[in-house]
Amino acid sequence: MLKTRIIPALLLQNESLVKTFRFTKPRYIGDPINTVRIFNELEVDELIFLDITATKDKREPNYKILSEIANECFMPLGYGGGICSLEQARKIFSIGFEKILLNTSSHLNKYLISEIADVFGSQAVIVSIDVKKNFWGTHEVWAHEAKQNIKKSPIDWASEVERLGAGEILLTSVDKEGTWSGFDIDLVKKTTDTVNIPVIAHGGAGTIEHIREVVKQGNASAVALGSMVVYQKKGYGVLVNFPDKKELEKILV
């Protein structure tokens, strides 16, 4: 098992997998259950599923598809999307997920972080922070599919969610997401320098070298991959895959 976790981050839209570009233009990737089976065979250490429309549609998580995923999956699972109560989190944990991710709901009720962490432990709570640069190049936190500016510094918000009991942060650069152009190293480094909990860097991975950079230069504890694990390469068709573990071991020593 790799010391640095490399985690496929898969986007759910209804009961299908999709991939977005800067949080827009969702493109159909395939069936989540078949994808899980492939990742089982590839012996991936961990998976994250994010329902990108649950909050917008004002609906609860799709427990049916989550149950099917959990029944098929051999590795630890995280889920985010539409979770706005302790009872919803409890139901997802009972299905077989080990971690839940809070994003928009954490802005509506930040104490939900503490409520869930107090019952299930901080290790079970990941706060997802979506970040965009403004006109002047300053990082700002966004929510609601990156359509609502929360007008907070990601550094300040990361510190607050740590204090509230989050066990990890999924830090996503909206500007980089789906671009294959590399991570926002500056954003990741400022965040990891500020908090003591693990930071999962997400948004922009296109090569093995990008993974090395965000771990070595940004001090990311883990890396979440989207495009790299669902496409053959940039501009090519769908192919569920995972970077060669021997190559990852070399760059992450």
Question: Could you list the active site residues?
Answer: 130
In this prediction, residues 175-180 reach a mean pLDDT of: 97
Helix ranges, 104-184 (H): 104-108, 111-120, 154-164
In this prediction, residues 29-54 reach a mean pLDDT of: 96
User: Residue 64's beta-bridge partner residues?
Assistant: none
Average pLDDT, the chain: 96
Give residue 205's identity as a one-letter amino acid code: A
Q: Is the pLDDT of residue 13 over 70?
A: yes
Helix, strand or coil for residue 173? strand
pLDDT band at 253 (very low <50, low <70, confident <90, very high): confident
pLDDT in tens, 49-67: 999 999 889 899 999 999 9
Q: What is the DSSP string of 197-241?
A: S-EEEES---SHHHHHHHHHTT--SEEEESHHHHBSSTTS-B---
pLDDT band at 199 (very low <50, low <70, confident <90, very high): very high
Q: Is the pLDDT of residue 209 over 90?
A: yes
Tokens representing 41?
């065979």
Sign of CA dihedral 113, 1, 42, 176: positive
**Domain regions of the chain by residue span:** 5-251
Q: Running DSSP on this structure, what letter comes out for residue 150? A: -
In this prediction, residues 16-37 reach a mean pLDDT of: 96
Sign of CA dihedral 131, 104, 225, 165: positive
Q: Is the pLDDT of residue 1 over 50?
A: no
pTM: 0.96
Residues 6+ apart with CB under 8 A from 101: 48, 50, 78, 79, 80, 81, 83, 126, 127, 128, 170
Helix, strand or coil for residue 38? helix
63-72 helix and 32-41 helix, angle to the nearest 10 degrees: 20
Q: Running DSSP on this structure, what letter comes out for residue 54? A: T
**Cα(95)–Cα(93) distance, rounded to whole angstroms?**
5
Are the C-beta atoms of residues 177 and 21 closer than 8 Å to each other?
Answer: yes
CATH class of the domain defined by 5-251: alpha beta
